[in-house]
Amino acid sequence: VLKGSAITATLNNNVNVVLTAAANGTSMVGTYTIQAGDSATTDLTVNSYTTSSPVTDVFGNVMTSTTVPTGTDNIAGSHAIDIDASRPASTITAVAYNSSANTITLTGTNFDQIESATTDIKAQLDWTKFTWDIDGDGATSAGLTFEVADITSAEKTSATQLTITLSNAGQTKITNALAAGFGADAIGADAANAADNVDITAGFIRDASLNAATTDAASNLSPTYSDNVAPTISSFSTSTSNGSYGIGDTVNITATTSEAVLKGSAITATLNNNVNVV
């Protein structure tokens, strides 16, 4: 057919696509760009077509047929193309961190709309949109972020719960933050800074077709922690040698705690001679 010949093909989801001959030949080509709300209950195929611009061969004969090819001569006969143009309507309302199980649990709604062929959906989630905001300082700190390599799995344990299991790399990120002096980089809070929170930008949750949610944004979510046991003093000790000490001498005193505490934590110990030491 001649260059410029064109038809309008109506797909089985009622979308129209114009197919045009870019040069003399046997092909008229067009592009279907999927839009939000498009759907197809069966594999994508052409249901009908009409002439958009006269389809003419080199001898001047004009096509009048509107017969639709069938079987392998139509799209669905040779290709299984599934159209999923519905965004998941998931929301996120809470975050919990379990240091023993190495898991981050998100609570929300409509997690059952995250379709996947397998139970592990870690590759579907957009980790650039998940930030552990250190000390709740927003833009002041880049915060703690994760990559797919930091995640062992992400599973929909129910319609309202998404469980993220950290890999060794992900756990190391948190461990390193904890080990960074228990100050501004600490997971949790210290005496000089606010508690951490989690910020999620819309589009973190994506379905199997990578349609991104627009309802899952959440700011300043305060994580809950599996460790809710307060630290205690396990012992008092000194590195000062045995002997007698007089005015101006110093004696080192160390209080050992039952678990790691944050930088800046302090107690006042009263000695058996009624002297207070911070």
For the chain, helix, strand, coil in percent to 5 are 10, 30, 55
3-class state of residue 71 by DSSP = helix
Please state, in angstroms and rounded to a whole number, the distance separating the CA atoms of residues 171 and 211.
29
**Predicted pLDDT at 184:** 45
Q: Considering the entire predicted model, what is its pTM? A: 0.70
Task: Look at 67-76, 126-135, 150-159, 219-228 and tell me which has the smallest mean pLDDT.
Answer: 219-228
For residue 98, pLDDT beyond 70: yes
Cα torsion 175, 180, 181, 186: sign: negative
pLDDT band at 181 (very low <50, low <70, confident <90, very high): very low
Q: Which two tokens stand for residue 26?
A: 């046997």
Residue listed under structure tokens 């460790």: 227
pLDDT exceeds 80 at position 229: no
pLDDT > 70: what percent of the chain? 88
- Helix, strand or coil for residue 77? helix
